[in-house]
Amino acid sequence: MKVNQERIERLIALLSGSLTGIEEKALVAEMQQVPELAEMYDMLKDMSAISGHGSKPIISATQKLSQKLYQDFLKNQASDKLQYGIQLFDSSLLPLPEGIRPASVDTRQLKYRIGELVIELKMYPITVDSVELIGQIEGLDSYEEFSVTVETKKKNQNTSVDKFGLFRFERIAIGKNSLYIMKNDSKEGLIELTL
């Protein structure tokens, strides 16, 4: 994990122009040998352009998200049976704009990619130890054969996906959970959720 963090920091330093000429040449050579590193650089460059090259909270959020994205990517590459969800967005990492007070109800939005599918999740606090989970799967050909299962420490819950790709779990325990995208009762993809 420390190696990944160091690589991401070097890529961010390359984007900000703070590497020496020798360091820059070495990193560019490494990116030519490691395609995943070059892909990560392209993603960071795009994220940096969107964020406006600015504030430390934005850079910190970009760094945390890119590290998570890279870890998910490596997990997905290592698995030959099940596709892991690669996290594309997490609203909890983004700072609030200036002048905005935190809401009393703290919602959270996440976005993942599993193969060609994009999964958007929204969590709404119900109690101190549970949330309501509403999600949508984009990119499905036929919604009839898909369902979603959440495995928690205490129990497993299953729900179907409607014709718009929407699904809902009324109450999910806070903690480490596994969300499976199911096709005809077979596990197609996994999103590891820490709520």
CATH of the domain at 179: 2.60.40.10
Same domain, 72 and 112: no
Question: What is the pLDDT at residue 157?
Answer: 95
pLDDT of the residue at 2: 46
| Distance spanning both ends of the chain, measured CA to CA | 21
Same structural domain, 121 and 186: yes
pLDDT of the residue at 58: 65
| Domain identity same for 70 and 122 | no
- Tell me: do 143 and 190 sit in the same domain: yes
89 and 60 co-located in one domain = no
Q: Token digits for 59?
A: 């850079």
What whole-number distance in Å separates Cα of residue 81 and Cα of residue 90?
A: 26
- Statement to judge: residues 54 and 91 lie in one domain: no
Sheet holding 166-173, edge to edge: 86-90, 108-114, 117-127, 130-138, 166-173
- Give me the pLDDT at residue 51, please: 55
Q: Which of 46, 78, 110 is the last residue of a domain?
A: 78
Mean pLDDT (10-residue bins), the chain, 195 residues: 68 83 90 86 74 61 79 82 88 68 71 92 92 94 88 90 95 93 91 89
Are residues 60 and 90 both part of a single domain?
A: no
- Give the model's pLDDT for residue 1: 37
One-letter amino acid at 191 equals I
- CA pair distance 153, 131, nearest whole angstrom: 15
104 and 184 share one domain: yes
Tally of CB atoms within 10 A around 15: 18
Residues 134 and 58 both lie in one domain? no
Decide: 166 and 135 in contact? Cβ < 8 Å: yes
What is the total count of domains within the chain? 2
Answer yes or no: are the C-beta atoms of 151 and 178 closer than 8 Å.
yes
Q: What is the pLDDT of residue 53?
A: 52
pLDDT at 180 (0 to 100): 96
Do 72 and 107 reside in the same domain of the chain? no
**Are 167 and 97 in a shared domain?**
yes
Which residue from 92, 94, 161, 82 is spatially nearest to 131, judged by alpha carbons?
92
Domain with 162, as residue range(s), is: 83-194
What distance in Å separates the CA atoms of residue 70 and residue 76, rounded to the nearest whole number?
A: 10
Domain boundary among 78, 93, 125: 78
Last residue of a domain, one of 78, 100, 124: 78
Whether 70 and 110 map to the same domain: the answer is: no
